[in-house]
Amino acid sequence: MIGRTLNTHDAALSAGGSSGGGGAVAVGIGPIAHGNGIGGSVRIPALYNGIVGLRVSLRCIPSYNLSQSGASPISARRMAVEGPLARTARDARLALMVMVRGDPRGTRCADAPLAGPAVSRPIRVAL
């Protein structure tokens, strides 16, 4: 997004960091947003806008920046994570399922499945 992003609940407040586009999700402009965070750019917009932010483990989601001219600093490569911002946990889960797909340009990504091993009895989770 370009320009100032306002908080969905109070225009005098911040929408929450560099991933403030989560505010657009909160008001229904789009179903999901992509957050990239070292210092809270997934969690803070979720908190400030009353939406779901899923900060996943390092290297779970491939990261590749087409607009970046050179290599990222080592601190960013060691700590930055990608994650979905959505209005519901179900939408965040669907976004995560797409975001974890491999990308040959995202060389720091671990190719690991979302589903764990089978369990003897089903676990029921309401989303």
Instruction: Give pLDDT tens digits for 88-107.
Output: 999 998 998 888 876 666 66
Res 86: pLDDT: 94
Decide if 82 is inside a domain.
Answer: yes
Decide if 11 is inside a domain.
Answer: no
Decide if 94 is inside a domain.
Answer: yes
Res 87: pLDDT: 93
Decide if 8 is inside a domain.
Answer: no
Reply yes or no on whether the pLDDT at 114 is more than 90: no
Decide if 85 is inside a domain.
Answer: yes
In which band, very low, low, confident or very high, does the pLDDT at 2 lie, cut at 50, 70 and 90? low
Higher pLDDT, 38 or 45: 45
Q: What is the pTM of this model?
A: 0.73
Res 89: pLDDT: 92
* Domains identified in the chain, total number: 1
Decide if 105 is inside a domain.
Answer: no
Q: Of 41, 67, 72, 75, which one is the catalytic site residue?
A: 41
**Which structure tokens are listed for 34?**
């992509």
Mean pLDDT of 18-25: 73
Does 18 participate in catalysis according to the annotation? yes
Does 19 participate in catalysis according to the annotation? no
48: domain range? 17-99
Alpha-carbon span 87 to 90, nearest angstrom: 9
Res 71: pLDDT: 61
**By CB neighbour count within 10 A (0-12 exposed, 13-18 middle, 19+ buried), where does 41 fall?**
buried
Closest CA to 3 of 15, 12, 120: 15
Decide if 61 is inside a domain.
Answer: yes
Reply yes or no on whether the pLDDT at 14 is more than 80: no
Across the chain, where does the E strand assignment appear?
32-37, 52-53, 81-86
Decide if 126 is inside a domain.
Answer: no
Q: Of 18, 57, 69, 120, which one is the catalytic site residue?
A: 18
Query: What does the DSSP 8-state code read for residue 9?
Result: S
How far, in whole angstroms, is CA 22 from its chain's centroid?
10
Dihedral (C-alpha) 40, 43, 49, 50: value to the nearest 10 degrees?
Answer: -160
